[in-house]
């Protein structure tokens, strides 16, 4: 079932079912797309209807953050739980199933470290290719060719939002991977470039605070979250 968060349709799904769905997608014939909007991204989509349509075209759209879950409660259509994109990838890696993955995104040295980390810790998974996320338009056909040549079942795209979603939407027909997933800064976390949020901050729903003290340059992006919550309250009180 989908829940409408200011026009962005989010799947109400448990973490377990999201993982099952990901494996079903990996074994499906048609290319499937996965997006992981958080509150900032939902706010962007609320303002930019073209971007919102892109998100709504995803095969699976998971609520990546407590902000989205809170919004769903304010709007009286509660989502059961947060399903973080990073955790979904981690669960896939930890499931110890043979999956071939192409990593696309983040800085050149960072992606190399993420690839080494996966190779060292998850022997069943095969990294069949990787490419950093800084490229010109002219390079796109070469990148797609490299992805297709690798025959990756799963393509993880970490270019940040909305760049990764727009890329996936524009090129999904030319890409032969079974699943294409937007992963934001997850490649940075796998590389150890950005620290994972400690569990205590997650339990207290203070992930945003931890991210803010670690990466103060995110402040302007994070200011969108209270605005987003206010818009949700306004919608609840006054409708459209
Ligand atoms: N990035 C990229 N190409 C670009 C812009 C950004 O590969 O042209 C990468 C950047 O190096 C980082 C990720 O995209 O790895 C964005 O991370 P951020 O934490 O902003 O994403 P979020 O998880 O918040 O969406």
The Cα 123–Cα 16 span in angstroms is 22
Helices 66-74, 39-47: crossing angle, 10 deg rounding: 60
* 112-153 per-position pLDDT tens digit: 999 999 999 999 999 999 999 999 999 999 999 999 999 999
The Cα 93–Cα 10 span in angstroms is 24
| Residue of 45, 84, 113, 160 to mutate, ligand 1, most atoms within 8 A of C-beta | 160
**Cis, bond preceding 162 (omega within 30 deg of 0):** yes
| Residue of 44, 159, 167 to mutate, ligand 1, most atoms within 8 A of C-beta | 159
36 CA to middle of ligand 1, Å? Answer: 13
Q: Average the pLDDT over 172-183 and give the result.
A: 98
Q: What is the pLDDT of residue 21?
A: 98
Ligand 1, residues at Cβ distance < 6 Å: 105-107, 133-134, 158-161, 163, 184-185, 187-188
* 47-84 per-position pLDDT tens digit: 999 999 999 999 999 999 999 999 999 999 999 999 99
Please write down the HEC assignment for all residues of 102-164. EEEECCHHHHHHHHHHHHHHCCCCEEEEEECCCCCHHHHHHHHHHHHHHCCCEEEEECCCCHH
Residue 211 neighbours by CB under 8 Å, 6+ apart? 197, 218, 222
* 3-19 per-position pLDDT tens digit: 999 999 999 999 999 99
156 CA to middle of ligand 1, Å? Answer: 12
Residue numbers of the domain that contains 54: 2-238
Q: How many domains does the chain have?
A: 1
């Amino acid at each position: 079932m989908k829940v409408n968060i200011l026009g962005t349709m989010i799947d109400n799904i448990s973490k377990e079912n999201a993982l099952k769905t990901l494996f079903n997608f990996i074994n499906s014939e048609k290319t499937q797309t996965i997006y992981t909007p958080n509150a900032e991204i939902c706010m962007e989509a609320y303002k930019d209807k073209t971007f919102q349509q892109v998100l709504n075209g995803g095969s699976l759209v998971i609520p990546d953050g407590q902000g989205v879950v809170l919004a769903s409660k304010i709007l009286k259509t509660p989502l059961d739980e947060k399903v973080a994109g990073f955790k979904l990838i981690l669960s896939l890696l930890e499931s110890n199933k043979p999956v071939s993955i192409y990593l696309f995104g983040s800085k050149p040295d960072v992606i190399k470290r993420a690839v080494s980390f996966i190779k060292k810790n998850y022997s069943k998974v095969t990294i069949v290719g990787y490419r950093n996320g800084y490229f010109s338009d002219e390079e796109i056909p070469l990148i797609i060719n490299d992805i297709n040549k690798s025959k990756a079942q799963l393509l993880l795209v970490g270019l940040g939002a909305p760049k990764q979603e727009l890329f996936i939407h524009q090129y999904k027909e030319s890409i032969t991977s079974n699943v294409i997933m937007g992963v934001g800064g997850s490649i940075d976390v796998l590389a150890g470039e950005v620290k994972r949020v400690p569990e205590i901050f997650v339990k207290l729903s203070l992930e945003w605070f931890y991210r803010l003290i670690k990466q103060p340059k995110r402040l302007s992006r994070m200011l969108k979250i209270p605005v987003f919550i206010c818009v949700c309250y306004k919608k609840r009180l006054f409708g459209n």
